[in-house]
Structure 1
Amino acid sequence: MSNSHPQSIIDAGRWIDAQGWCPATGGNFSLRDGAGEVLITASGRHKGHLCEADLLRVDLAGAALDSTLKPSAETLLHTQLYQLDSKIGAVLHTHSVSATVLSLTSPGDWLGIEQLEMQKSLSGNQTHDAAIRIAIFDNTQDMQALAQTVAQRWQQGALSWGLLVRGHGLYAWGRDMAEARRHLEGLEFLFACQLELKRLGVAP
């Protein structure tokens, strides 16, 4: 995997597209680029066919910097996450079937996961015995409002690894692109297991 900023986003897009986690032109991916800038995919670009011309830089308010490309509305949630935690270096937003359906069929504000070995793919987890929680947020087209809601819940106790938006998809993050990809892959496996348990009538 390339360490260059643009190429790491392009590579992630091809890998994610191959998994079927970002159909059509859905999703968006970003990297922190210095103290106050973010490199992010432009609106309306298919993530399996990205090139450097599909990326732009924005400031932490989500405004484009020296680009005529249009940032996605969801850019505001990316930049909010970067503001909330200086250790976050990459954010991947996907639209998999498992994440979308599980978010709709899980009541409440949290998805609980336990007794699955793949929990150890998430930074800080050393065992399957410790239950983890993934925050769920109601979907809205008002991304500024959603970003503010994420910030409010963050202050109540930092969210870890990722969050779900109900009926929409997953935001996963990490200290760099490699960790964000690992968290995304681990969470997607965990979600697929939870969804299969539901299908089998076994309470996760």
Structure 2
Amino acid sequence: MEFEAIAQSLVNAGRFLASQGWAPATSGNYSARLADGSVAITVSGRDKGQLIPNDIMVVTLAGEPLGSGQRSSAETLLHTSLYQAYPEVGAVLHTHSINCVSLSRWLLSQGQTTLLLTNYELLKAFPGITTHDGEVAIPIVDNSQDMVALSETVLTRLQAVPAPGYIIAGHGLYSWGATVPQARMATEALEVLVSCALQAILLDRTFA
């Protein structure tokens, strides 16, 4: 029953994220830790706006499928590496929004490898933040098709800059929480905050 409940929770999250335009053309992938240490994760190539429980499979912490005959995303290691490094992480969601993709590419082209978010009321959506003038630093990393190297880079950056998520430049956002609903809230908050940061940059450049 645990898998069925988790699978439905991932389906619900995926449909919501897709409804916001954050999962175009079957992009994105979602996962959650199971009690036995394995991971429930979306099957590769599924339309995230039309997910059903059968679109969720199970892999080991090494990313190996457990008897489903299905294939998970090539980015599975980016999920499982977080579960191995952080026992408190219970769910990971990955989106491909226009604003995250665009802003991350621009920031990296300017030599900025971190997006600093501060003075936003929505920061209180993240654990431990109780005021708008707190700060959240979101690491931005170069894109790569080498998932081993990319996951190692991400973990190194997160050790230096603890954060509720990170952005792969030109690719998209990874964010997480203790449960799927908490990960969904963190993802929604970060997507909105990234949009606010992008709008602020555009307004500054327009009226400078």
- Scaled by the length of structure 2, what TM-score is found? 0.92
Supply the distance in 2 between the matched residues of 1:162 and 1:127 (Cα, whole angstroms).
Answer: 19
Pick closer, same or farther for the CA change 1:114–1:154 going to 2, 3 Å: closer
Q: What per-residue deviation string (whole Å, max 9, x for no partner) do you get for residues 66-98 of structure 1?
A: 111111111000000101100100000000011
Distance (whole Å) between structure 2 residues aligned to residue 154 and residue 113 of structure 1: 16
Q: 1:156 aligns with which of 141, 148, 160?
A: 160
Aligned CA-pair RMSD: 1.5
Residue 137 in 1 paired to residue 141 in 2?
yes
Whether 1:84 and 2:81 are equivalent positions in the alignment is no
Q: Which moved more, 1:34-43 or 1:86-95?
A: 34-43
In 2, the alpha carbon distance for the partners of 1:154 and 1:20 equals: 27
1:125: which partner in 2?
Answer: 129
What residue identity is the alignment partner of 2:138?
Answer: I
1:42 and 2:43 aligned: yes
User: For the residues of structure 1 that align with 2:72 and 2:122, how far apart are their CA atoms?
Assistant: 34
Taking structure 1 as reference, are residues 123 and 100 closer, same or farther at Cα in structure 2, changes over 3 Å only? same
Q: Distance in 1 between matches of 2:66 and 2:103?
A: 36
User: Structure 1 residues 129, 135: closer, same or farther in 2, change over 3 A?
Assistant: same
Partner of 2:138, secondary structure, is strand
Query: Shift in Å at residue 195 of structure 1?
Result: 0.7
Following the alignment from structure 1 to structure 2, what is the Cα–Cα distance between the partners of residues 154 and 101?
22
User: Residue 79 of structure 2 aligns to which amino acid in structure 1?
Assistant: H
Q: Which residue of 1 aligns with 2:115?
A: 111
Amino acid of the residue matched to residue 111 of structure 1? L
Q: Where does 1:1-80 land on structure 2 (aligned, <5 Å)?
A: 4-80=5-81
Q: Which moved more, 1:73-82 or 1:46-55?
A: 46-55
The letter of the residue matching 1:41 is: T
1-structure distance, mates of 2:13, 2:22: 11
Deviations 1:19-49 (A, max 9, x none): 0100011000001012420000011111011
Offset at residue 168 of structure 1 (A): 0.3
TM-score by length of 1: 0.93
Contact in 1 for aligned 2:136/2:163 (Cα 8 Å): no
Unaligned ranges ≥5, structure 2: none
Structure 1 residue 152: Cα displacement: 2.2
How far is 1:160 from its partner? 2.0
1:193 aligns with 2:196: yes
How many matched pairs? 200
**Aligned equivalents of 2:157, 2:197: Cα separation in 1:** 24
Distance in 1, matches of 2:22 and 2:158, equals 26
Contiguous gaps of at least 5 residues in structure 1: none
Q: Where is the helix percentage greater, Structure 1 or Structure 2? A: 2
Give how far 1:156 is off.
Answer: 3.1
